[in-house]
Amino acid sequence: MMDKLAFIFPGQGSQSVGMLAEHIDTPVVQQTFAEASEVLGFDLLTLVTEGPAEALNRTENTQPALLTASVALWRLWQEESCNAMPAFMAGHSLGEYSALVCAGAMTFADAVRIVRQRGLFMQDAVPQGVGAMAAVLGLDDDKVLEACAEAAQGDVVEAVNFNSPGQVVIAGHAAAVERAIELAKTAGARRAMLLPVSVPSHCALMKPAAERLAVELQSVELKAPAVPVIHNVTADVSTEPEQIRSHLVAQLHSPVRWVETINRFVGSGVTGFAECGPGKVLAGLNKRIARRAPVATLESVAAFEELLAQNNDE
């Protein structure tokens, strides 16, 4: 079963105060949060379990919190499954760092430090209120691209997350995003609405952040992943450390090609997925991309134990 399973790791938007509540008292989860707290210099577990939400939702806190939650679940899976390894891994945006840690390409401590910096660089790159993101629902990708091209008018507005058929996220200058929303509605979008975020991720406005991230990543030792990881920017696998480093830099200002990623999994023989992290965001997207491939959301003890039982039956 494991040779047909892919582990997928969520990105920003999956966090919430109280996440991982069903697993939070497990020793390996506690230890993972303790390791992250030591790197960060503050108590990450208290922030995740008690909030406040405003602090958890600051991107420089959200990113290490989600990374830590995902790695903690992976470590618990490894402990309970006798180190059973899936066929593939991938992560959505920030989740790509979780995938690389769990695949052995990057140490957990390095990843915690880097994603904290990544969040700070992203926030610094675009002042509050200057950028925006919006979700466009029920419109073909090419129509979304056309709306962005027409709305730009010298500003930046781009399609940045191809999340599922009929669900594309756009990002850029706030005024241009607003124009693109109206054009998308005119073109027949079922809905087009602003997202409650402070950073316009994955668009050209993030290039200054990417330049700073590139410098930080030079201090990180990368290895070939033990499990193939499909990258957001290429929807393909990389094994060379320098290529992985380059992909992580480009990822900050490039689209997340999630539909292509999931289709690549299915084309490679994957028949099931495990969402290794908080929430069910990726499970919801997968239902629109690969409907016949079930997704186990490991934040749920029941789903975790069911997948474990399936693995043990093999």
Measured distance CA(296)–CA(279) in Å, rounded: 11
- Chain-wide mean pLDDT for the chain? 96
* pLDDT value of residue 314: 65
- Whether the per-residue pLDDT at 196 is higher than 90: the answer is no
What would the pLDDT profile of 198-230 be if each residue is shown by its tens digit?
A: 899 999 999 999 999 999 999 999 999 999 999
Note whether 287 and 180 are same-domain residues: no
Return the pLDDT at 128: 86
Residues 222 and 117 in one domain: yes
Asked whether the whole model's pTM tops 0.85, one would answer yes
The model's pLDDT over 179-190, given as tens digits with 9 standing for 90+, comes to 999 999 999 999
Same domain, yes or no: 13 and 141? no
How large is the average pLDDT for residues 55-84?
Answer: 95
**Helix ranges (DSSP H) in the chain:** 27-40, 44-50, 53-56, 59-81, 95-102, 108-125, 141-152, 174-186, 207-217, 241-251, 258-267, 281-289, 301-313
State which of 198, 223, 254 marks the end of a domain.
198
Q: Do residues 211 and 284 both lie within one domain?
A: yes
Query: Are 187 and 300 part of one and the same domain?
Result: no
| Same domain as 243, residue 112 | yes
Residues 6+ apart with CB under 8 A from 137: 166, 167, 189, 190, 191, 192
Domain end among 198, 216, 244: 198
Find, among 118, 107, 105, the residue nearest to 229 by Cα: 105
Do 92 and 143 lie in one domain? The reply is no
pLDDT single digits (tens) 155-169: 999 999 999 999 999
- Shared domain for 160 and 285, answered yes or no, is no
Average pLDDT over residues 95-121: 98
Q: What is the pLDDT of residue 311?
A: 84
pLDDT tier at 313 (50, 70, 90 boundaries)? Answer: confident
CATH of the domain at 190: 3.30.70.250
294 is in which domain, residue-wise?
Answer: 5-125+205-313
| Predicted local confidence at residue 138, as pLDDT | 97
Active site residues: 93, 202
Residue 106 has pLDDT above 70, yes or no: yes
| Total of domains in the chain | 2
Q: Which two tokens stand for residue 18?
A: 């109280």
Let me know whether 144 and 104 are in one domain: no
Residues 157, 18 share a domain: no
> At 273, phi and psi to the nearest 5?
-130, 155
Q: Is the predicted pLDDT of residue 64 greater than 70, yes or no?
A: yes
Calculate mean pLDDT across residues 242-248: 97
pLDDT at 197: 85
Same domain, 237 and 103: yes
Taking only the tens place, the pLDDT of each residue in 23-40 is 999 999 999 999 999 999
Which CATH number do you get for residue 112?
3.40.366.10
Instruction: State whether 140 and 179 are in the same domain.
Output: yes
13 or 141: which carries more pLDDT confidence?
A: 141
- What pLDDT does 103 receive? 98
Average pLDDT over residues 94-100: 98
Residue 273: is its pLDDT beyond 90?
A: yes
